[in-house]
């Protein structure tokens, strides 16, 4: 099956006699032309391999062979049987799901069009926890690890008797734990109740990206902070996202994927600017419309701390409701990493569909920003966007 520029093909592999069902996504028509880096995406609690299809398609469009699969015993009670892998929900555990992921990893490594030295794990929610633990177990086999609001809270939920939204007595754990959408067995509780996930995660030594919403009602963002601290200094990039809970809408997912792309390209986040919109002025003349969006805001990063000066403006022009121009122009005043007062003047506009900011600064310590090849990712929020500016590692100090 072809979906635009992506070819989608079902695949099967086995673990302990259980069939694992999944989907393979490749740049259409180029499956055998090269050894592609591979991304394996693990779904969350009560999800399935189709629930992460959008991620896989985008990764394939980026040039990766991407794979999604259904955990044995995963999913919901009322789920379409054609989407399920073999296995009973009451027998699944975090450990069996790690074994499932390892089986898929071994299958992917043997494919002739996959670069086995460039395997990347991506996990959503519970799949994020499973991916992190699997990376720690497989170590050097995994090139990079990406966890999207990972459910690192699961052991604590077991200790509190509330796995999967259920309620039970931790001193008398039932044989079947009713989570409404699915049923878990006592074995799930028993395998995680004494687990120290942060200690186990630290065994992985490769690059890590964690995307975590600050409004997550299921996994408090403090778990992601603890996870970052469990890795060695500089190994893990934690991206805390304003106004995001335990899911991503279409626009949020688009910006999340844009940040993931920067991570995969080994670009580093240099400046994080929280924009606060203060005023919008719009003028219309026939089919032409121009909006000037004024804003303030702040930047708080290792290189620079400061605020946006009055006059910051995002100019957007439209013709027949189609955007023809967008350009943000603003100046921040603050201090650089040595505490010296300085300014950053930023112009951010789209070039060939990608945000390409330019920075001018009077800081001697940040002078390298003046000529840096920069890209940006914008995250929409209630007050105004978060602007994340990335640069290539080779151009940094």
- Tens of pLDDT, residue by residue over 192-208, are 999 999 999 999 999 99
**Domain termination residue (choose one: 265, 300, 319):** 265
How much is the pLDDT for 4? 53
Low-confidence ranges of the chain (pLDDT < 50): 1-2, 31, 397
Same domain, residue pair 41 and 190: yes
Same domain, residue pair 146 and 185: yes
How far apart CA 74 and CA 89 sit, in angstroms, is 6
Q: Are 224 and 239 in contact (CB under 8 A)?
A: no
Same domain, residue pair 256 and 275: no
CA-to-CA dists, residue 40 to 98, 108, 149, 228, angstroms: 13, 9, 17, 22
Same domain, residue pair 233 and 108: yes
How much is the pLDDT for 80? 80
In 3D space, the residue among 380, 365, 370, 368 whose CA is nearest the CA of residue 346 turns out to be 370
How far apart CA 143 and CA 359 sit, in angstroms, is 32
Same domain, residue pair 169 and 89: yes
CA-to-CA dists, residue 61 to 69, 110, 194, 299, angstroms: 19, 22, 41, 32
Q: Is the dihedral of CA 78, 84, 89, 94 positive or negative?
A: negative
CATH of the domain at 340: 2.40.160.20
- pLDDT tens for residues 131-155? 999 999 999 999 999 999 999 999 9
Pairing assessment for the beta strands 114-124 and 144-148 based on DSSP bridges: parallel
Same domain, residue pair 196 and 336: no
How far apart CA 258 and CA 303 sit, in angstroms, is 22
Q: For the whole model, what pTM was predicted?
A: 0.93
Q: Residues 6 or more apart from 233 whose CB is under 8 A from it?
A: none
Q: Are 212 and 238 in contact (CB under 8 A)?
A: yes
Q: Are 51 and 43 in contact (CB under 8 A)?
A: yes
CA angle 169, 171, 173 (to 5 degrees): 60
Same domain, residue pair 20 and 158: yes
Q: Residues 6 or more apart from 322 whose CB is under 8 A from it?
A: none
Give the pair of three-digit tokens for residue 155: 């052991």
Same domain, residue pair 220 and 332: no
**Domain termination residue (choose one: 212, 241, 265):** 265
Same domain, residue pair 24 and 66: yes
**Containing structural domain, residue 139:** 2-265
Environment class of 50 (CB within 10 Å of its CB; exposed 0-12, middle 13-18, buried 19+)? middle
Same domain, residue pair 228 and 355: no
Q: Is the dihedral of CA 334, 339, 342, 346 positive or negative?
A: negative
CA-to-CA dists, residue 349 to 89, 126, 245, 315, 324, angstroms: 49, 37, 29, 10, 11
How far apart CA 63 and CA 69 sit, in angstroms, is 19
- pLDDT tens for residues 286-341? 999 999 999 999 999 999 999 999 999 999 999 998 888 899 999 999 999 999 99
Helix, coil or strand: residue 233: coil
Report the domain count for the chain: 2
Same domain, residue pair 253 and 219: yes
**Domain termination residue (choose one: 204, 232, 265):** 265
Q: Provide the percentage of residues in the chain whose pLDDT is more than 70.
A: 96
Same domain, residue pair 156 and 68: yes
In 3D space, the residue among 315, 314, 319, 313 whose CA is nearest the CA of residue 289 turns out to be 319
Q: Residues 6 or more apart from 65 whose CB is under 8 A from it?
A: 24, 25, 26, 36, 37, 38, 39, 108, 111, 113, 114
CATH of the domain at 18: 3.40.50.1820
How much is the pLDDT for 22? 96
How much is the pLDDT for 1? 47
């Amino acid at each position: 099956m072809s979906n635009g520029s992506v070819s989608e093909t079902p695949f099967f592999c086995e673990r302990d006699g259980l069939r694992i069902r999944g989907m393979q996504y490749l740049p259409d028509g180029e499956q055998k032309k090269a050894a592609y880096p591979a991304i394996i995406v693990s779904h969350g609690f009560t999800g399935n391999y189709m629930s992460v299809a959008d991620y896989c398609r985008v990764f394939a469009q980026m040039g990766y062979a991407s794979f999604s699969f259904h955990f044995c015993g995963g999913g919901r009670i009322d789920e379409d049987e054609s989407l399920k892998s073999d296995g009973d929900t009451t027998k699944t555990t975090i450990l069996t799901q790690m074994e499932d992921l390892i089986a898929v990893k071994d299958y992917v490594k043997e494919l002739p069009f996959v670069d086995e030295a460039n395997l990347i794990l991506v996990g959503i929610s519970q799949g994020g926890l499973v991916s992190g633990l699997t990376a720690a177990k497989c170590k050097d086999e995994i090139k990079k690890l990406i966890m999207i609001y990972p459910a690192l809270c699961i052991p604590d939920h077991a200790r509190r008797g509330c796995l999967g939204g259920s309620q039970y007595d931790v001193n008398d754990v039932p044989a079947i734990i009713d989570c409404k959408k699915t049923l878990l067995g006592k074995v799930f509780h028993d395998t995680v109740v004494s687990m120290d996930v942060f200690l186990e995660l630290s065994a992985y030594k490769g690059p890590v990206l964690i995307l975590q919403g600050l409004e997550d009602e299921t996994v408090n963002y403090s778990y992601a902070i603890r996870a970052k601290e469990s890795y060695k200094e500089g190994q893990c990039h934690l991206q805390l996202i304003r106004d995001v809970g335990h899911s991503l809408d279409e626009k949020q997912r688009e910006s999340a994927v844009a940040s993931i792309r920067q991570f995969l390209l080994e670009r580093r986040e240099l400046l994080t600017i929280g924009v606060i919109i203060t005023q919008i002025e719009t003028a219309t003349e026939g089919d032409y419309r121009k909006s000037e969006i004024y804003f303030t805001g702040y930047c708080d990063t290792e290189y620079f701390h400061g605020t946006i000066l009055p006059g910051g403006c995002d100019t957007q022009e439209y013709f027949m409701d189609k955007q023809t121009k967008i350009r943000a122009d603003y100046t921040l005043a603050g201090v650089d990493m040595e505490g010296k007062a300085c300014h950053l003047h930023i112009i951010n506009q789209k070039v060939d569909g990608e945000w390409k900011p330019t920075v001018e600064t009077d800081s001697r310590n940040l002078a390298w920003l003046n000529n840096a090849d920069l890209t940006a990712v914008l995250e929409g929020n209630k007050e105004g966007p978060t602007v994340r500016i990335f640069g290539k590692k080779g151009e940094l100090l």
